[in-house]
Every structure is written in C-alpha cells, then in structure tokens.
C-alpha cells in the first residue's frame, strides 16, 4: 500500500519526511505504476497529513512585508514534520536581510501581534519545566530576502503540530539561540483541523 501526496510547492517537503523511511531514489524505484505525474508515492507507515496555506501577509506593524505573500506547506508523517515557507513580494529595503519566522500557537490578526500568542513549543505543551527552546521543539523558519524580494525556509521537526487557529509570525531579526527575534512584523494565518 502507498498513499500519494499532491505536489504542492515542489516535492522537497514530502521527500524530507519520506526520506526517513526510504531514500528518494528508492522511493522513485518503488513508485507504484498508477501514481499520476506530479504526485509522489510514499510508504504507508503511519498517518500522513498535509497542510498548505497561502495568502497575503497581514501587517502587525510597519515593515517591508506590506503586500507580500507567503505559502506554508507542512507535511506530517507519523511523529515527524517537514515544513517549508516561501515569501514573495517583499519590499526592496529588505533585500539581504534575514528575518525570524516561527509557528505561533494563536491566530494571525492584522494589527494585533499579541493575538498570535507564544511560539508553538512541544515542551510547553507537554508541561515540561523549564521548557527547552530550540529548533527541535519549535518550528523555526528564518529566511533571507533575495534581491528579487523573496525568501524560503525549510525545517524538519520531530513532532506533528496539533491543529488549531495558528499563525506563522515574521519578526524583525534572525532568531537567536533563546528563540528571540524581536518585534512582530507580519503574519500568515494557518488554521487546520
């Protein structure tokens, strides 16, 4: 048995998850004959779910992200997720700069950065005290803006975020080792059930 996942933003995210089970080449060789072009076959071990959200970023303060768009693709397979973020249409002033970006627990509300709540952190959700803060317990998606006004980031985390009305928040600085990245500039709403 195999399940198929529609190719959304390139197969990178899907392959990253499936890669834990079989290398991409092995997968290609074991591809069932009825998998249509543009889809990827992965072994049916554990549950796979894909969340894809795309849209205009919502402003949380003055920033070069006014009018910018973002796409998030999150592929969870068992207790492992590959997450990819692509941002386009960023103002020229941002070229060459790196911005922090994370999955936050709360919703993305224009003009209300606090509404997004804290980072999604598995230690916090598990009640561990003190919670550890790093890229294996949170979804960190820092990106650097190119001269054409786009940026991409990807990460693989050892958990599948719980559904909810959540957001990807873009911050003014790159994320430091404490998970701090400065003011909240813009967000992408990411709700799933």
Q: What does the binding site for Cu ion look like in residue numbers (CB under 5 A)?
A: 102, 169
Q: How far is the CB of 80 from Cu ion (least distance, A)?
A: 22
- Non-local (6+) Cβ contacts of 141 within 8 A are 83, 85, 101, 102, 103, 153, 154, 155, 168
- Bridge partners (DSSP) listed for residue 87: 70, 151
Nearer to Cu ion, 102 or 166 (CB): 102
Nearer to Cu ion, 77 or 107 (CB): 107
Only one residue has tokens 């997720």, namely 81
In the complex, minimum distance from the CB of residue 25 to Cu ion, in angstroms, rounded to a whole number: 36
Which residue of the chain is nearest Cu ion when measured via CB?
102
Nearer to Cu ion among residue 68 and residue 169 (C-beta): 169
Sheet holding 69-77, edge to edge: 48-56, 69-77, 81-88, 151-157
Minimum CB–partner distance for residue 89 and Cu ion (Å) = 21
Rounded to the nearest 10 degrees, how much is the dihedral formed by the CA atoms of 126, 18, 7, 27? -170
Q: Pick the closer one to Cu ion by CB: 44 or 176.
A: 176
DSSP state of 160: -
- For residue 177, the minimal CB distance to Cu ion (Å) is 14
Is the CB of 28 or the CB of 183 nearer to Cu ion?
Answer: 183
Closest separation between CB of residue 169 and Cu ion, Å? 4
CA 84 – CA 141 distance, rounded (Å):
8
């Amino acid at each position: 048995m195999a399940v198929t996942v529609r190719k959304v933003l390139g197969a990178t995210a899907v392959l990253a998850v499936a890669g834990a089970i079989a290398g991409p080449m092995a997968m290609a060789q074991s591809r069932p004959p009825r998998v249509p072009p543009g889809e990827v076959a992965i072994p049916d071990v554990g549950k796979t779910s894909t969340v894809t959200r795309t849209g205009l970023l919502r402003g949380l303060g003055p920033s070069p992200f006014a009018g910018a768009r973002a796409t998030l693709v999150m592929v969870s397979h068992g207790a492992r997720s590959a997450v990819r973020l692509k941002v386009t249409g960023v103002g020229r002033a941002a070229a060459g700069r790196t911005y922090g970006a994370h999955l936050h627990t709360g919703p993305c509300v224009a003009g209300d950065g606090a509404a997004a709540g804290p980072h999604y952190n598995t230690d916090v959700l598990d009640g561990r005290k003190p919670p550890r803060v790093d890229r294996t317990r949170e979804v960190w998606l820092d990106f650097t803006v190119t001269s054409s006004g786009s940026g991409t980031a990807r990460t693989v985390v050892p958990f599948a975020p719980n559904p909810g009305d959540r957001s990807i928040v873009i911050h003014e600085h790159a994320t430091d080792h404490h998970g701090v990245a400065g003011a909240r500039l813009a967000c992408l709403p990411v709700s799933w059930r």
